[in-house]
Structure 1
């Protein structure tokens, strides 16, 4: 089984880049709630035991890794999101890329402040690049399984979004958001058929 490592980051650092940013999103396929994006870079290459694609980790393990990442001074990160109204207005793909652009530009600005002069590259999980991004970038299919900083971004985004959905579960208690996090489970579709959507459902998605 492949695990993310720093080999790709090292390749870009050796080719002349001063900083490598990893970026990933969570929640694109959900029926409700925001799409959440995280951009991450490490001021010095390091490994954290257990970092992997967020989908392969338990909720407890993700929480442990995020606590370690946030407490580690070597890591910088930025979380951005787009809410359902924006998703419905733009479509999910454009909304996701907008959140990615904001997160990358924020963390890249921090990288420039930390170390000058600095050439930065963003490694994006998936097949598509970020439109109108003013720094170099590469799209890496299954990047969360290959690249350490993308895996870190994946885990942080997942933990942040899960916490947001847990809060929404209190505000909208009839949907089970604390369980399915807004994804299209059988329970979720049953509740939609019974009581209809709430304010955080994506009206542009097929809900029933």
Structure 2
């Protein structure tokens, strides 16, 4: 596409750019188009534009857009925050785990949605307390991420009762932990298998 075909993101009265138009600015790879995008973000872009810019920043590996995206970490839309969280986790190498912690700390489940996949992709033990807290609160989406950062200490604490897991989520947690062949001693894995079977008992008892 020629320069004339690229949508200019400058005047506030301009139509909201489409995802294709924003992608054209990324593929143009020129300082002029980069400046146009940043200018739009600096003045307060619509949610769809912000989220699309964040996602395309990841696709094109454009960490240089993070400063312009940072103010939107506090955006009122959880969907926008989700896209911004993901961009910072994927693009801010030195600050990746801090960005993940910030994502997990978000109070809205939609804003946290990308966190769990990203924890599995970039696991770190520092996130275990928060993931355990989210699991205990009933957020089943956190379970597989918790299992990804779990250690033999996790199994010990589950067995001792230090980690309290709601009954409806126990089966999925134990199943996810057993799916990691590298996790735990033979004795701990035997306990996990027993706990997995026990977690099914109430459901069997309730069956007609």
TM-score by length of 2: 0.25
In terms of fraction of residues, the more helix-rich structure is 2
**Max Rg structure:** 2
Q: With a CA cutoff of 8 Å and minimum separation of 6, indicate the structure with the bigger relative contact order.
A: 1
